[in-house]
Structure 1
Amino acid sequence: MPVVQHGPRDKPRVALTFDADLTALMRRRLLSGKVHSYYNKALIDELRAMHVPATMFLTGMWMEQYPDVTRELAADPLFELGTHTYDHRGFTKHCYTLGTVPREDMLADVRRAVVQLDQLDPHATRWFRFPGGCYDGTALHELAPAGVTAVGLDVPGADGFAKSSAPIVKQVLSNVRNGSIVVLHMHGGDNAPYTAEAVGPIVKALRACGYELVTVTQLLAG
């Protein structure tokens, strides 16, 4: 999806988005006690404290694990929720190490997550994000009946497996521009341990530069 461009008189806008991944492997780590939680409550608390609108993309497996949290996020007017497939497998071959959803299962996988979100969120959007940003014409064709709209990104936050918050902050602030969609992660744990620490400096710097922080819906509304 192309980055949105606004006229020169508009206040520059940026959408902060957060993916909530949960894979079969991550769930095993959670159930075994190796990871305490894949819900980064500190991140959500920080967004609320700073009154930051955001769009969250939730996997179906994550919603199954955290139904009450999903309802709580859905009830917060700051946030809007979309889907991120059921278990975060890739929709093309060789999508990092995510595995691959067979073509014949693609539609059912996405519909499963959409149904779950609709059960938990009366205001659910039809925004959808491909895991790893991996998709092709085949994937788009197969998902057309699901009625979702794929949301891309132009600023990956590089918070996955980061060793500190500083590189995350630098990555976002060095690449953001008017109309950008930034992707970070809200599952925390051992996969994204420094996102909550990074989001405060990111938000403060963006606002100091005159950016308005908005949801994907607000951004695409122009």
Structure 2
Amino acid sequence: MGSRPPVVDHGPRTGDRVALTFDADMTDGMLQNLRTGKVKSYANLRILDLLEREEVPATFFLTGKWVQRYPALTRRIADNPRFELANHTYGHAAFTDDCYDLPRVPAKGMTADVAKTFEVIKPYGGRQTRYFRFPGLCHDAAALDALAPLGLTVVDGDVVSGDPFAKAWQPLVRAVLDKVRPGSVVIMHVTEANAAMTDEALPHILAGLRERDLVPAPLSEVLAAG
């Protein structure tokens, strides 16, 4: 049994770097929506296109089921030297009770769930990390204890965009730019159908960061700065 993993919200408040992070959720219900045609996509290609075109570093917290559903996109992310890959559980189930109505991971299955996700991501290579984000940012002492053997760092974040199920892009821009500071970790989503406004907000967020002399950087570099 290792020691309880550290939980970080942001990097040092020095310098000019910030981390843009994108969660890639995937539940069994989302997979069913894809199979039945109820939803077209949970992968926002416009976000990737923009980040690539403007050469913006980013870190992607991937669920194992998203990786398995979108292997070519996972390869695309892994092949970009400006992108990092991190762990967001296997099927986006909650590690505590009362976490946004998400189904619950059994206590005895928590360690295996996260370990399995690292194994799913591993073959893609690229800039892989030992960073992990809980679904809904929901965690308690028992959840942290369960992950102790895995040698990871839990990354919550200090700037929540609020992009899931948003109906307009302007509030996302305000949410980010009102709170972002040197060392910030910004939370957004790449799950298109569940975060349809993110690609529209992102150009304005990037412009606002430039106006504030803040520079996007990989999460590992932001956390290690200073």
| TM-score between both structures, scaled by the size of structure 2 | 0.93
Instruction: Identify the residue that residue 130 of structure 2 maps to in structure 1.
Output: 126
- 1:6 is matched with 13
Deviation at 1:123, TM superposition (A): 3.5
Q: How far is 1:3 from its partner?
A: 2.6
Residue type of the partner of 1:47?
Answer: L
Between the aligned partners of 1:4 and 1:120, the Cα distance in structure 2 is 27
Report matched runs for 1:101-120 at 5 Å: 101-120=105-124
2:198 pairs with one of 195, 198, 205? 195
Structure 1 residue ranges, 4+ long, deviating more than 4 angstroms after superposition: none
Amino acid at match of 2:80: D
Task: Provide the alpha-carbon RMSD of the alignment.
Answer: 1.1
Kept in 1, the 8 Å contact 2:83–2:127? The answer is no
Q: Which residue does 1:64 correspond to in 2?
A: 68
Distance in 1 between residues matched to 2:44 and 2:181, nearest whole Å = 27
Please give the secondary structure, in 2, of the residue aligned with 1:74: helix
Match of 1:172 in 2: 176
TM-superposed deviation, 1:105? 0.4
Q: Runs of 5+ in structure 1 lacking a partner? A: none
Partner AA of 2:66 in structure 1: W
Name the SS for the 1:99 alignment partner: coil
- Indicate the percent of aligned positions where both proteins have the same amino acid: 44
Residues 67-126 of structure 1, C-alpha deviation per residue, up to 9 Å, x if partnerless? 121111101011000010000011111111112111100011111110000022253211
The residue number in structure 1 matching 2:101 is 97
**Aligned residue in 1 for 2:42:** 38
The match for 2:218 is: 215
Residues paired across the two proteins, number: 218
Check whether the contact 1:70–1:121 (CA below 8 A) recurs between aligned residues: no
Change (3 A) 1:41 1:56: same
Give the SS at the match of 1:126: strand
Gaps of at least 5 residues in structure 2 are 1-7
- The one-letter code of the counterpart of 1:131 is P
Which piece of structure 1 moves more, 96-105 or 55-64?
A: 96-105
Give the C-alpha shift of residue 16 in structure 1.
0.5
1:210 offset after TM fit, Å?
A: 0.3
Q: Distance in 1 between matches of 2:161 and 2:126?
A: 29
Name the residue aligned to 2:4. Answer: none
**Hey, what does 1:162 align to over in structure 2?**
166
Contact 2:84 2:126 (C-alpha < 8 Å) held by counterparts: no
Q: Which amino acid aligns with 1:110?
A: V
Kept in 1, the 8 Å contact 2:59–2:84? The answer is yes
* 1:207 partner amino acid: R
The answer to whether the Cα contact below 8 Å between 2:23 and 2:189 also exists between their aligned partners in 1 is yes
Q: 1:92 to 1:171 in 2, by over 3 A?
A: same
Q: CA contact under 8 A between 2:12 and 2:223: conserved in structure 1?
A: no
Query: Cα deviation per residue 1:135-168 (whole Å; 9 max; x = unaligned)?
Result: 1111111111122211110111111000011111
Tell me the distance in 1 between the aligned counterparts of 2:184 and 2:127: 24
